[in-house]
Amino acid sequence: MNIKRLVKKDVSVLRAYNAKEIPCRVKLDANESPYGFRTALKAAGKINTNRYPDPEAKALKGLIAKGLGIKQDNILQGNGSDELIYYLVAAFGGPVLYPVPTFSMYGIISQALGEKRIAIFLDKEFDLDTDRILSAIKKDRPKLIFLSSPNNPTGNCFSSDRILKIIEASKGIVIVDEAYQPFASEKGFLPLMKDYKNLVIMRTLSKIGLAALRLGFLIAEAEIIEEVNKVRLPFNVNSLSQAVALEALKNRKQFNSCVKVIVSERRRLFNEMEKISGVKPFPSEANFILFKVKDPDKVYNALLKKGILIRNIKDAVNGCLRVTVGTPEENTAFLKALKTVSG
């Protein structure tokens, strides 16, 4: 049997997402938080393993809704925000528009589901090219527009007036992916939800210390949530994740203090990286820093030899690597190694 001939063409040309485990001493490649919440695991002991999870994740959504000052009807839970991207594309279809470089899953999922993709390059400042986006909106009428702000892998927030112009011009849904919002100096788009029916906010717990749980949320008009909920798999968020997240989120102070340390370490990393010859870091509002070097492969491999794993982004952004902000000790180890390998 020829499997290649059976598989859908859109899928056969895809490559599996490369999330392979590379052994290392210091892991700064996946924009995770260096701080976990192990004490929250005690909540897992109360789970009835023979029962399905709460399909609506009511308690968790209730807590999130309360924290954000919104209603439960305006939230949809996902097995990570990756899954919610899948659901959005499954529910609304394409064309799907997004800037590049950005988070790769918008394009991968759209392609896997056979939807038309419109990728529009960011400008030289890594901001949205509104002229080109607005003309694509007119011409192609995208049903979905994904804007990651702060953007992965560039680290900057897009100008809010440009995002607003896009929301106002679009006849489709605009998703502002705020995966990195906790680390940003700007407020984010949640306060604008009431003014724009086509605005959807996406958030995740993955970057603030709970990546293992796989939990993401959509925040939107109840009517949008209802439609997306039709394609959601019945028990998409498991009981362990629901219970442990509930326990961890009780202690918001702890989250906030971890975010504070990461933001101050980001500042230190940036300042120190700027001093290293042959290294050009780009300002970041996220928990990672994009930086340019003369020979990204050489620097990436030399760091790995010293046990430090970062992300090689050269295919998305010419000459660039991306480092996640770790603990102060991890960052110091990274800086020390970078100084010796960047020349």
What residue ranges bind ligand PMP (CB under 6 A)? 31, 80-82, 103, 148, 152, 177, 179, 204, 206, 211, 216
Q: Closer to ligand PMP at the Cβ: 177 or 330?
A: 177
Helix axes 239-249, 58-68, angle to 10 degrees: 30
Angle at 316 between CA 95 and CA 270, to 5 degrees: 125
Q: How far is the CB of 112 from ligand PMP (least distance, A)?
A: 15
Q: Closer to ligand PMP at the Cβ: 223 or 315?
A: 315
CA distance 259 to 256: 5
Q: Which residue is nearest to ligand PMP (CB)?
A: 80
Q: How far is the CB of 177 from ligand PMP (least distance, A)?
A: 5
Q: How far is the CB of 134 from ligand PMP (least distance, A)?
A: 23
Q: Closer to ligand PMP at the Cβ: 202 or 276?
A: 202
Q: Please report the DSSP string for 224-242 in residue order.
A: HHHHHHTTS-TT-S-HHHH
Q: How far is the CB of 34 from ligand PMP (least distance, A)?
A: 16
Q: How far is the CB of 5 from ligand PMP (least distance, A)?
A: 32
Q: Closer to ligand PMP at the Cβ: 3 or 22?
A: 22
Q: Closer to ligand PMP at the Cβ: 190 or 302?
A: 190
CA distance 111 to 175: 18
- Phi/psi-derived region of residue 233, left when phi > 0, alpha when psi is between -120 and 50, beta in every other case: beta
C-beta separation of 195 from 47 below 8 A: no
Q: Closer to ligand PMP at the Cβ: 179 or 321?
A: 179
Give the type of residue at 54: D
Bridge partners of 174? 145, 199
CA distance 73 to 223: 9
Q: How far is the CB of 263 from ligand PMP (least distance, A)?
A: 17
Q: Closer to ligand PMP at the Cβ: 286 or 337?
A: 286
Residue 17: HSE in the Cβ half-sphere, 13 Å Cα cutoff:
12
Looking at 113-236, list the stretches that DSSP marks H as alpha helix, in order from N- to C-terminal side: 130-140, 160-169, 222-229
Q: How far is the CB of 103 from ligand PMP (least distance, A)?
A: 4
- The label of the residue with tokens 């419109």 reads 118
